[in-house]
Amino acid sequence: MHSIAPSILHVSQPTEGGVCRCLRQLVADQLDRGWQVTVASPQGVLAEDARGLGAQHYEWPAGRTPGPATLFETARLTDVFHQARPDLVHLHSSKAGLAGRLSLRGRLPTVFQPHGWSFYPLQGSMRRAAIVWERFGARWAHVILCVSDSERQRGEAARIRANWHVVPNGVDVDVLRPGDRAEARARLGLADGPLVVCVGRICQAKGQDVLVETWPRVTGRVPDARLVLVGDGEDAEKVRKAAGDGIVFAGQREDAADWLAAANVVVAPSRWEGMSFAMLEAMAAARSVVITDVPGARDALGQDSAAIVPLGDRRALAAAINVRLLDPAIAEEEGTAARLRVERGHDLRTTTRAVAELYRSLLGITAAARAATGT
């Protein structure tokens, strides 16, 4: 049993995107609780944010994919564990999950959070190898933490035996409020007319290429419709070259909330996800969402606040967008329902509180100890 503030180490290979947003939320909350918090990651935005929040940071140079360098990455992470001396380790996403579990082998309380299973987008022998590892590595995680029931179910379907725990992603519903569409468009210099917005890193996982290919089916029914892609990423140039008329690339922006408020419909055409933050932000903004049937979508949106379309079905994607552009009342009703759902099920305070309670359970921190130490 711990009688002092616990020491938590978060490990992540990604340094931007949804994984890092989740990690930053947890770090900020745990620092506010008076806990000792350390982050290990490659240098980048995440490292800067961690230090800015007041957490200690250790550089952990690691590539995204497994390979010969994984042995060196694991050895370096072992050094970090010895230096940081945490009470509990939280491993975020597949590379940290691989190196961290190989290094620790269950010697410390260990939480592994996939943020979307690594095997999901793979095929053939690579997929089989990733599943075999996850089955084996599960023994070295005291808890596998999923962001949705559907993510947990995919793990169970792959016959991964684990102590499962589900805590949905959350957003700050007090900060992310429904905005006035006309005022947001005025701030952004946008004209009236049907507007579709897609927010997120431009990469294969997020599927903007599919949306761009689909767009002529939308403008065939709604000629004055415009599409804005907000974000940047490794596939931005390729997607830009494939884009036709009526598509605007806004780049990386700090005013994503205004773009969501300006939209008639928000589209998330992902190929795979854990639980999309862009979806949750659109829900908080009370905007209708058209999203592919990825993990977390049905969990968050239910049946009455969005259109959930099959993966890769461009015809269904275009049809769902067109229905909501041609009948704004549908989009408004869905947006109202989405806002209620995000308030009830995805408030950031509920998310961070649930993770803190999970840590306390793993560390054996009793109610009496919490009262005495403020943890």
- What tens digit of pLDDT does each residue of 339-360 get? 999 999 999 999 999 999 999 9
Closest CA to 314 of 267, 349, 255: 267
Residue 372 has pLDDT above 50, yes or no: no
d(CA 371, CA 306): 43
Q: 188 with 319: CB under 8 angstroms?
A: no
252-262 average pLDDT score: 93
Element (H, E) at 96: helix 93-104
Label residue 177 by pLDDT band (50, 70, 90). very high
Label residue 273 by pLDDT band (50, 70, 90). confident
Q: Which residues contact 191 (CB under 8 A, 6 or more apart)?
A: 185
State the pLDDT at residue 365.
Answer: 59
89-105 average pLDDT score: 96
State the pLDDT at residue 300.
Answer: 92
pTM above 0.85, yes or no: yes
For domain 7-170+347-373, the CATH architecture is 3-Layer(aba) Sandwich (3.40)
324-337 average pLDDT score: 96
Q: 179 with 258: CB under 8 angstroms?
A: yes
Label residue 373 by pLDDT band (50, 70, 90). very low
Q: In terms of C-beta distances under 8 Å and separation of at least 24 residues, what long-range contacts does 59-65 make, across chains too?
A: 60/11, 60/13, 62/13, 62/95, 62/96, 62/99, 63/13, 63/95, 64/13, 64/14, 64/95, 65/95
Label residue 295 by pLDDT band (50, 70, 90). confident
Residues of the chain with CATH 3.40.50.2000: 7-170+347-373, 181-345
135-151 average pLDDT score: 96
305-331 average pLDDT score: 95
Label residue 156 by pLDDT band (50, 70, 90). very high
Label residue 370 by pLDDT band (50, 70, 90). very low
State the pLDDT at residue 367.
Answer: 42
Which of the 8 DSSP states describes residue 254? S
| % of the chain exceeding 70 in pLDDT | 96
Residue 294 has pLDDT above 80, yes or no: yes
For domain 181-345, the CATH architecture is 3-Layer(aba) Sandwich (3.40)
